[in-house]
């Protein structure tokens, strides 16, 4: 979809969105999860965006958020309440006793807010460079005043060196979350970039780091060698994006796993049935969640 529906069309769609959400709320959780799997946004994105586009303010996992059900993030959160459930549950488990989570690639702040709400001893530093997404991140934070003092938003990218970088926003209005650092400086727009080593020098180090950076996972990890050497963090949740490298997916995945194993991390992979130890490599798997913990 190249452009969003006009104001009148969005207004007409509101009753439909809310009726669908009400229907989903009347179904038992296992049934809702099955529906989310059977009706994926990727397969029905054109129809879903056309029918559901608009702004909705909802309560989700104890926090108040604004979402657009016509985008991939809003679709799963608004209709099914199923956005990143296993990842959020794991981050809550890891962060229960605080003190600090670094959310690298915080997007609209859903994970930041949900984990901060569930962990009252936790502070969060949320890194997000996207000009398109930052307003929604700030808006969601403002809607949760009891959490604002524990969440710091840093409008910078994270990588392996400090300076500036080209940032390429998403070309799809249906999936504005997939902006990424660009390899060509002439595309997109310029954003400041830091490293986790540089940012946390002289600050309380993070005990948990979540990384979702659309293919820049290796750069983020290379930029935290000093933290690793000092014993920080104790766990990392990493979303891999091998699909962004085309035929080089296997090479990218292999480099990521090799780096983690060289650092002595114990690696688990998220399967539909839950987390399990990663015994081999990832091959050319396009997209997966990894949990790296110190032995």
Q: Is residue 21 part of a domain?
A: yes
Roughly what angle, to the nearest 10 degrees, separates helices 134-142 and 110-118? Answer: 30
Task: Quickly tell me which residue has 């997000």 as its tokens.
Answer: 128
Q: Provide the CATH number for the domain around residue 181.
A: 3.40.50.150
pLDDT of residue 40: 82
57 and 102 part of one domain: no
Q: Is residue 1 part of a domain?
A: no
Q: Which of 28, 57, 80 is the last residue of a domain?
A: 80
pLDDT of residue 11: 67
Q: Is residue 36 part of a domain?
A: yes
Distance CA 188, CA 276 (A): 38
Q: Is residue 214 part of a domain?
A: yes
67 and 209 part of one domain: no
Q: Is residue 126 part of a domain?
A: yes
237 and 269 part of one domain: yes
22 and 152 part of one domain: no
Q: Which of 80, 99, 130 is the last residue of a domain?
A: 80
pLDDT of residue 4: 57
56 and 161 part of one domain: no
129 and 229 part of one domain: yes
64 and 107 part of one domain: no
Joined together, the tokens standing for residue 48 give 């879903």
Per residue in 58-91, is it b (16+ CB within 10 Å) or e — as a string?
Answer: eeebebebebbbbbbbbbbbbbbbbbbebbbebb
58 and 145 part of one domain: no
Q: How far is CA 204 from CA 104, 123, 229, 240, in A?
A: 16, 10, 15, 27
pLDDT of residue 16: 86
Decide if 75 contacts 46 (C-beta within 8 A): no
Q: Is residue 28 part of a domain?
A: yes
72 and 90 part of one domain: no
Q: Which of 80, 107, 129 is the last residue of a domain?
A: 80
Q: Is residue 2 part of a domain?
A: no
Task: Quickly tell me which residue has 């690696």 as its tokens.
Answer: 267
Number of structural domains found in the chain: 2
Q: Is residue 181 part of a domain?
A: yes
pLDDT of residue 36: 78
249 and 236 part of one domain: yes
pLDDT in tens, the chain (295 residues): 445 555 666 667 888 889 988 888 888 777 777 777 788 887 878 888 888 888 999 999 999 999 999 888 899 999 988 889 999 999 999 999 989 999 999 999 999 999 999 999 999 999 999 999 999 999 999 999 999 999 999 999 999 999 999 998 887 767 777 788 887 777 789 999 999 999 999 999 999 999 999 999 999 999 999 999 999 999 999 999 998 889 999 999 999 999 999 999 999 999 989 999 999 999 999 999 999 999 8
What distance lies between CA 65 and its chain's CA centroid?
Answer: 15
184 and 48 part of one domain: no
Q: How far is CA 33 from CA 39, 77, 83, 88, in A?
A: 10, 12, 11, 16
Q: What are phi and psi of 289, to 5 degrees?
A: -100, 130
Which range marks the domain in which residue 75 is found?
7-80
Joined together, the tokens standing for residue 134 give 């930052």
pLDDT of residue 8: 60
18 and 116 part of one domain: no
């Amino acid at each position: 979809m190249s452009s969003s529906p006009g104001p009148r069309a969005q207004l007409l769609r509101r009753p439909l969105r809310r009726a669908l959400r009400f229907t989903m709320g009347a179904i038992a959780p296992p049934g809702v999860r099955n529906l989310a799997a059977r009706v994926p946004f990727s397969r029905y994105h054109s129809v879903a965006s056309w029918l559901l586009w608009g702004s909705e303010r909802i309560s989700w996992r104890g926090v108040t958020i604004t979402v657009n059900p016509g985008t991939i993030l809003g679709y799963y959160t608004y209709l099914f309440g199923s956005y990143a459930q296993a990842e959020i549950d794991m981050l809550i488990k890891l962060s229960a006793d605080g003190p600090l989570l670094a959310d690298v690639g915080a997007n609209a702040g859903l994970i930041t807010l949900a984990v901060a709400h569930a962990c009252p001893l936790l502070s969060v530093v949320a890194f997000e460079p996207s000009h398109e997404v930052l307003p929604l991140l700030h808006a969601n934070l403002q809607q949760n005043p009891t959490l604002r003092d524990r969440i710091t938003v840093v409008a910078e990218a994270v990588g392996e060196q400090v300076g500036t970088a080209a940032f390429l926003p998403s070309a799809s209005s249906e999936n504005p979350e997939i902006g990424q650092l660009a390899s060509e400086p002439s595309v997109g727009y310029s954003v400041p970039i830091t490293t986790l080593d540089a940012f946390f020098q002289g600050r309380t180090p993070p005990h948990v780091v979540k990384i979702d950076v659309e293919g820049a996972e290796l750069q983020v990890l290379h930029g935290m060698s000093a933290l690793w050497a000092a014993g920080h963090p104790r766990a990392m949740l990493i979303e891999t994006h091998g699909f962004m490298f085309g035929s080089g997916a296997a090479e990218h995945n292999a480099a990521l796993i090799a780096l983690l194993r060289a650092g002595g991390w114990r690696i688990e992979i998220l399967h539909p049935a839950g987390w399990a130890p990663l015994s081999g490599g990832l091959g050319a798997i396009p997209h997966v969640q990894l949990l790296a913990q110190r032995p």
